[in-house]
Structure 1
Amino acid sequence: MEPAPGLSRWQRLRLGFQDRCGVEPRTLAALAVVLVVAAGFAVHHYAAGRPRTVTAGAEPVAAAPSPAAEQVAEQAAEPETLVVDVAGEVRSPGLRTLAVDARVADAVEAAGGVLPGTDTDGLNRARPLSDGEQILVGVTPDPVAADPGAVGGPVNLNAATAEQLQTLPGVGPVLAANIIAHRTERGGFTSVDQLLDVSGIGERRLSDLQSRVTL
């Protein structure tokens, strides 16, 4: 059909398109919009339905503390202590509770210090302490007493009773029994250093006992 004269260019194009396709341009535009919306929905549905790789973050698992770690923690929370008897020429003689790594100088200081004019040449202030020992400041022990367990004199390892051995620093009933059992089994001590063979005596305790025992 030939477009009527006097129509605008747009009108003539619309009429020509309608004649060829048999569809109104308005209807065609509506169909195009529907197709665009449908295509967009399809793309969105496809993207949303794709499987995604999700990396799950592994939560840290706290390792259970080992028995050794628990023991160290307990020791750190409750430090070991020892008790010594400070006697002689000090301001406040008596029992003192000190840290396990304390030395003679710490015990003397805890007892108020040495009295003025006291001779301390024979006092080893750097010596480590043992639990239960007595520290004599400015007092010279008797050389050797007839009684192997006499106070102030060396204790005879081969003759002392369990009670007499317990007067030594760091020696309790168990260690005294070990000393007696060892000398009975070996026929007596021939050297003070043989105390190292007794269960419960190490280098440190031997150093504390060497000047306090005899054979």
Structure 2
Amino acid sequence: MRERLPLWLQDRCEVRPRAVAAVGVVLLAAVGFAGQQYWSARPRAVTAPAVVAPGAVPAAATAPAGAPASGAGAGGAGGVSGAGGVARIVVDVSGKVRDPGVRRLPAGSRVEDALAAAGGVRPGTDTTGLNRARVLVDGEQVVVGAPAQPPPAAGPGGGVGSGPGPGPLSLGSATVAQLDGLPGVGPVLAQHIVDFRTARGGFRSVDELRQVDGIGERRFADLRTLVRP
């Protein structure tokens, strides 16, 4: 059959070794490329990251730069962190206690805790006017056995007078009746002052009286010299 074809066609249909070699190289390259793609796309095992339990990081690693070490500065101002990073307050316990002086207590401590830190109240001391359940604030003074605040003075008509007894009235321990005796303060406003004191854990300064509902600048100006924290 091949011999019957024209010579020019026989020459084109002839399979030469060079052409066979070229086709073989192309096939070999294609097989190699397919194998490389299959190998790179194979499934691989993924290692899960290690789980760090809460609290496993040392405190020194998480402390900000320049911060004092745990327990350092325990003799500083209130609110500093003592051993274990617990916030602390500083209060002055004086009066009829066994060991009066400055005490550093955990934040949120109450008057009862301050008395215990001062060795307890001396026998026979009258603590009727002392609210042992009150939450302490940093920098305050707890006086034990001090004379109770005098009741409001009676006016000429037998009613409550316009001014309190001698000395500034303590916002931290005054009763509703005593606050009612202040000029411009009625029973409703006196109750607001007591409610504010309970919610805030006391008065840090006389200026906080401005935040009580019903006390404006004019009324505060009349009261600021008559009261103390």
Q: TM-score, normalised by structure 1?
A: 0.41
Flag the structure with higher helix content. 1
Q: TM-score, normalised by structure 2?
A: 0.39
